[in-house]
Structure 1
């Protein structure tokens, strides 16, 4: 398995995962903000209702029977002292009864104290709020606004505090509809109702608390960091890609020079031989045949590089002759290496697949040359086997070379990686690209042991 490719996929996966997490965080935060907003709206409504009750209680606390209560108190004191006064007249008893009835309609003081002490005064929530009169222009009460919480700060019509409160009220009105606070002052005593007015209205303007505002900013900060992470990852991948392309183009140039160098050198040798006047007719014919072979070799090399630059045409062919021809070409090079290397080919009679003959021959030559270069001893063996397995055609190249360390298995197909001192690190990379990109197959290092050898496997779809 190509760990280099998997590492790139892993990094891309991490970037995608970071983006998904950021989006999920944004959605979750938005949902949390919506819930907090609903809660704050409920709290601000409760605050408005509490304020209305306090105002109502304060308005109703004006005692219209103060003189009657004092007379009743004086009467009861004299009774306790044993000096009972004369029985009050009927009309005075009626006023006492009205005073008692009025007192019974008053709200309990513990409820009023709870509203004052637990809801309004401690400011248990950090929601900015301003209460104005019915016109919405004159602030009467405010909380969590950067203005001193005293009416004395509004002593003058053009005071700085008043301008700040009005500007803040306009900002709040643009965000949320103000909540009307309607105080009903109607009582059983019509004289009080007539004197105070049956109802009056105030408006409560409010905004989001600092918690919601910070929660709204948090996902965008997270997006910023994720964006920076993706940017750094993109730049890193771009750098790796440019280096890979640079290595690929450099290797392609060297591979082209190497591919062309062998037949050109051979052509130059045969031309020098033909110029000799002592050359016999049989030798001349042999030289011409070899020149023709070298020219054919140059044509095939040109076709290979042309096919790599375009979409090659696949034809259903038998792989066996292609593999045998590539092995024969490598065998011609064995005597020049001064080694006793055996190259054995054991294939069925037919392995037909959709294949481009020139490119697949290049793949086999690269695998065989790689196996030959891996053999560092005086003797060695290269075995080419193949067959059909699970609906796919495979060809394996096994050598008795130096082998590859397990931790380097993933790097052997990376452009520029080579275990040879003079290697370019391009042959296996190009071979894998040809197999995977143009043939839809796979090329893998399936086994390798240091000091014992390696086995490469090519699989092509049998369709």
Structure 2
């Protein structure tokens, strides 16, 4: 157990290290991306300012003879191939646009409305830049971020999504590793327990044979009960030995299996617990089960019920047919019940409301039913102070 504990601690340390690395990478990338976006925004703003000055230069009549400069200015205007921009002259008329696709089938009126809507959208993102064209007149250049900058704005969200996905994958990997290690620990513990039980059981069987050899001194009925308990220990040993292995399923009469086992169990629990078994199944109903493991499921649920009733109450088992070729076994007690907060936890390893025990009985029962028998085990109903019903569902075929 100490080895297992160290492994879990190491996994926790690795989880923290991975989480910190992801946090550092994410924070660093976001800061760098934000800095890059700000620089690009400033650069595009400077470019639009240059674009505005070029427009002002072209409309300034004082430069009418400066042909070469006008050519250079035109080159600056044409060089803007990525930043959407619209120039509105002092009369509030749209005089020029760049990098805005207008549908070819639009009428002049539709084009005007389309560009005015673009201007409204641009105004939400950036203040328009003034264009001084002389004589106290001023136009405005409206602009928006380029496609590259808009895409870059979404990059942090994409990065966060990727980091979140990596975090989930890392968590699942560590959780899977931990569950696999837990399984190895419990399998090893179960097989070692089975091995350790072998020697005292052999000795007990020898004592039973010795007692049978002298019936005058030893009461035969007592010897029979001792032999049953030794056989019971053999069954438990076989169960522990089968953990971690794929069990063999055989067709068994489920009515007989449940009744025979509950008859045995009834003589070994509190005499103040009234146990009853009813069945609506056909007398010869066969189910493919592993008898040893299935009896273990019944035992774990029943013993858990007896503990919940503190040794006083009623324990009822009822077998019924379900649609879709299924059989249900309901195990009902009159115990303290399970709170809604704990219903989802009762099958979790280590969960227990009792002072004794490891909280593994119901966990093993659920695993045996669902993983080995392809069935279902769940809390059908529970009411605090009145009792609980567990339901086992198995396939008839």
Deviation of residue 316 (structure 1)? 1.9
Normalising by structure 2, we get a TM-score of: 0.55
**Partners of 1:359 and 1:399 in 2: how far apart?**
22
Deviation of residue 318 (structure 1)? 1.1
Q: Deviations over 1:140-198 (max 9, x none)?
A: xxxxxxxxxxxxxxxxxxxxxxxxxxxxxxxxxxxxxxxxxxxxxxxxxxxxxxxxxxx
Cα 1:324–1:254 shift into 2, 3 Å: farther
**Partners of 1:268 and 1:332 in 2: how far apart?**
25
1:389 partnered with 2:346: no
Q: Pick one of 231, 252, 263 that aligns with 1:296.
A: 231
Count of equivalent residues: 272
Q: Pick one of 252, 255, 263 that aligns with 1:320.
A: 255
Quick check: 2:337–2:388 contact (8 Å CA) kept in 1? yes
Cα 1:390–1:365 shift into 2, 3 Å: same
* Partner residue in 1 for 2:382: 448
Normalising by structure 1, we get a TM-score of: 0.48
Deviation of residue 325 (structure 1)? 2.5
Give the unaligned 5+ runs of structure 2.
1-50, 52-57, 59-64, 85-143
**Partners of 1:257 and 1:328 in 2: how far apart?**
30
Quick check: 1:248–1:426 contact (8 Å CA) kept in 2? no
* Partner residue in 2 for 1:367: 301
* Partner residue in 1 for 2:172: 237
Residue aligned with 2:164, SS: helix
Q: Pick one of 149, 160, 165 that aligns with 1:225.
A: 160
* Partner residue in 2 for 1:309: 244
Higher RCO structure (Cα 8 Å, ≥6 apart): 1
Give the unaligned 5+ runs of structure 1.
1-46, 48-53, 55-60, 63-112, 128-208
* Partner residue in 2 for 1:120: 77
Deviation of residue 227 (structure 1)? 3.0
Quick check: 2:378–2:391 contact (8 Å CA) kept in 1? yes
Larger-gyration structure (1/2): 1
Q: Pick one of 311, 332, 339 that aligns with 1:398.
A: 332
Cα 1:381–1:441 shift into 2, 3 Å: same
Deviates more, 1:348-357 or 1:260-269: 260-269
Residue aligned with 1:350, SS: coil
Q: CA RMSD in A?
A: 4.5
Deviates more, 1:257-266 or 1:362-371: 257-266
Quick check: 1:304–1:359 contact (8 Å CA) kept in 2? yes
**Partners of 1:248 and 1:357 in 2: how far apart?**
22
1:420 partnered with 2:354: yes
Deviation of residue 351 (structure 1)? 2.9
Q: Pick one of 310, 314, 321 that aligns with 1:376.
A: 310
1:344 partnered with 2:301: no
